[in-house]
Amino acid sequence: MGLYSETRFLHMGDRGLLLEFGDEISSEVNEKVRRMALAIQTEAIEGIIETVPTYRSLLIFYNPLILPIEELRKRLKHIEEGLRQTRFPDPKLTKIPVFYGGSFGPDLEEVAKYHRISPKEVIRLHCSKPYFIYMIGFMPGFPYMGELPDALVTPRLKTPRLSVPAGSVAIAQRQTGIYSMESPGGWQILGRTPVKLFNPEKDPPTLLQMGDLVQFYPIKKKEFESWKE
Amino acid sequence: MLEPGILTTIQDRGRYGFSQFGVPPSGALDTFSFRVANLLVGNQEGEVCLETTIMGLKLKALREVVVAITGGDLSPTLNGESLEMWRTHLLIEGDVIKFKKVRAGCRAYLAVSGGFVVPKIMGSGSTYLSGKFGGLEGRALKRGDILYTFDIQSPLSKLSLLFPSDWIPPLEKEVLLRVIPGPQNHHFTEKGFQTFCSSSYQVTPRCDRMGIRLEGPKIERRSDVEESIISESLISGAIQVPGDGKPIIILTELVTGGYTKIATVISTDLSKVAQLKPGDRIRFEPISIERAHLVLKKQEDIVQSFKDIIQRS
């Protein structure tokens, strides 16, 4: 199906309106999300507290006492009708160094076995193309990226880990991501990056932004240990 | 800080505008009690307060300060004597406040005139526990912490300020939470949705500032739709139903998730959710969005009326 012919307006409680643009992870649907988010931000509508873009939907968090729901719907419909197909600025490409395998990439061997290829081939495939950042979520600065080469598509762990270290570079299904903070997690961990993805004191607080690109490249343990930003 | 109790954190109204970077709002869970506590001591309603859970917090005043305690009844005492909630008190140097045990509810709010001094991160002083930032060094308070306050703003003539008792929300062990169905209510069978609306659910010990897991009848989902959805935004009050069919009420420390959400608790009733503790029981009642907005308006009118009382006093 991809992009819906008509955007769905779904209530998420009495202060959230969820605009759902499609039913798949695709650049077409994601682009509509970003375009709409940008247009709403530009309008700076009083009563909208924040907008949260994700893979295929956009949450509008609003104050109904300032902005009645009918008024909000009307304004959003109007913005959607006026969306122009202008091009976004070229995406920024960020190169992310990764030390693959060992204790930093506890699932590298298993992923290789699962696909009947060598760990080296897994690394080569993971670094074989730039990935598109569909959204930032789950935790501060965690980029959801895709799509992995077909030969790397791997299910999540059956039992999630109670603790995944910050910087862990991982895959799940067609997605790849980086744990920006230590947390529980069920993705397959291939390696770790010394690069810091989140800094609450910075503006914006995240190194990577939705709509940009990431290219991974392998580094040696020594380079990891002596990494300076 | 003589004893931090089970969990005490620094919270204000929360951090908004950063969910797009994966940063959840955090902030006081019982927003009604939190706002009233601030108004009582002459602060702006969103000032930095303490949120304390269940029991055990013990504080000593190191200087003269005006305080108010609202929210759950955790048996607060002043130098061993029971301390009245929902009103202002003047503490002098050496006074000790203690929260002895939970009598009703779960979380109490302690506001001081002028507010606590903490750095603002992304515009907010709220503690984000799993993110380890905000509040005091991104953590729960511990023994030996010293909290500083800004100078007293409210004139001492307001010391006898009282929040009208008939406006204080009741604390019950069995609460009715009003919900707006969706966004994924269509992922459940009609029978499943009926189960959700007609059953009583119990709060399990697995509850914190991220969410509350409930135990009760399993909610049946449609067999022709997938269990998980493409990850999307969460909002405080969203009710997730994972594969085991047992609902989880999402609170304020999560941003996105890939579980289906059968309904969302209306914002007015989130203050009731904040006062739930293990063993308490819940029922859900679906209402229309229009009614939810009327209910919200009514609550805002109460806050506004109280502001008017303060203005006149």
pLDDT tens profile A169-214: 999 999 999 999 999 999 999 999 999 999 999 999 999 999 999 9
SS3 for A46-88 is: CCEEEEEECCCEEEEEECCCCCCHHHHHHHHHHHHHCCCCCCC
User: In sequence order, which residues have a C-beta less than 8 Å from that of residue B256 and are 6 or more positions away?
Assistant: A54, A135, A137, A138, B22, B231, B232, B233, B234
Claim to verify: residue A68 and residue A144 sit in the same structural domain: no
Claim to verify: residue A202 and residue A117 sit in the same structural domain: yes
From chain B, pick out residues whose CB is under 8 angstroms from the CB of A181.
Answer: 130-132
Claim to verify: residue A17 and residue A54 sit in the same structural domain: yes
Domains plus CATH for chain B? 3-167 (no CATH), 174-293 (2.40.100.10)
Q: What pLDDT does B262 receive?
A: 98
Claim to verify: residue A160 and residue A220 sit in the same structural domain: yes
Give the residue from A81, A111, A132 where a domain finishes.
Answer: A81
Average pLDDT over all residues of chain A? 95
From chain A, pick out residues whose CB is under 8 angstroms from the CB of B230.
Answer: 23-25, 54-56
pLDDT tens string B114-142: 999 999 999 999 999 999 999 999 999 99
Interface test with B, best of A52, A57, A69 (most B CBs within 10 A): A52
B196 or B311, greater pLDDT: B196
**How large is the average pLDDT for residues A131-136?**
97
pLDDT tens string B19-53: 999 999 999 999 999 999 999 999 999 999 999 99
Claim to verify: residue A50 and residue A110 sit in the same structural domain: no
Whether residue A88 lies inside any domain: the answer is: no
Residue B156 has pLDDT above 90, yes or no: no
pLDDT tens string B252-298: 999 999 899 999 999 999 999 999 999 999 999 999 999 999 999 99
From chain A, pick out residues whose CB is under 8 angstroms from the CB of B226.
Answer: none
pLDDT band at A76 (very low <50, low <70, confident <90, very high): very high
Answer whether A57 touches B (CB < 8 Å): yes
Q: What is the CA radius of gyration of chain B?
A: 20
Surface of A (181-210) touching B: CB under 8 A: 181, 183, 198, 200-201, 204-206, 210
Classified as helix, coil or strand, B90 is: strand
Residue B301 has pLDDT above 60, yes or no: yes
Claim to verify: residue A70 and residue A99 sit in the same structural domain: no
Sign of CA pseudo-dihedral A219, A220, A221, A227: negative
Q: What pLDDT does B313 receive?
A: 80
Answer whether A151 touches B (CB < 8 Å): no
CA distances from B299 to A183, B36, B167, B294, B302 (A): 37, 12, 9, 9, 5
pLDDT tens string B201-221: 999 999 999 999 999 999 999
> A128: domain CATH number?
2.40.100.10
Residue B154 has pLDDT above 60, yes or no: no
Answer whether B287 touches A (CB < 8 Å): no
Which of B20, B181, B261 is opposite residue A53, by nearest beta carbon? B20
CA distance A152 to A155: 10
Claim to verify: residue A215 and residue A144 sit in the same structural domain: yes
Q: What pLDDT does A158 receive?
A: 86
Q: What pLDDT does B157 receive?
A: 56
Domain tally for chain A?
Answer: 2
Residue A166 has pLDDT above 60, yes or no: yes
Q: What pLDDT does B158 receive?
A: 60
The answer to whether B266 contacts A140, with C-beta atoms less than 8 Å apart, is no
Share of chain B above pLDDT 70, in %: 97
Q: What pLDDT does B118 receive?
A: 96
Placement of tokens 């009918």 in the chain? A70
Whether residue A87 lies inside any domain: the answer is: no
Give the residue numbers spanning the domain of A106. Answer: 93-225
User: In sequence order, which residues have a C-beta less than 8 Å from that of residue B268 and are 6 or more positions away?
Assistant: A14, B178, B292, B295, B296, B298, B299
Cβ atoms of B54 and B102 within 8 Å: the answer is: yes
Interface test with B, best of A4, A9, A11, A14 (most B CBs within 10 A): A14
Whether residue A194 lies inside any domain: the answer is: yes
**How large is the average pLDDT for residues A41-62?**
96
Max intra-chain CA distance, chain A: 59
Give the residue from A81, A114, A133 where a domain finishes.
Answer: A81
Q: What pLDDT does B227 receive?
A: 80
pLDDT tens string B75-119: 999 999 999 999 999 999 999 999 999 999 999 999 999 999 999
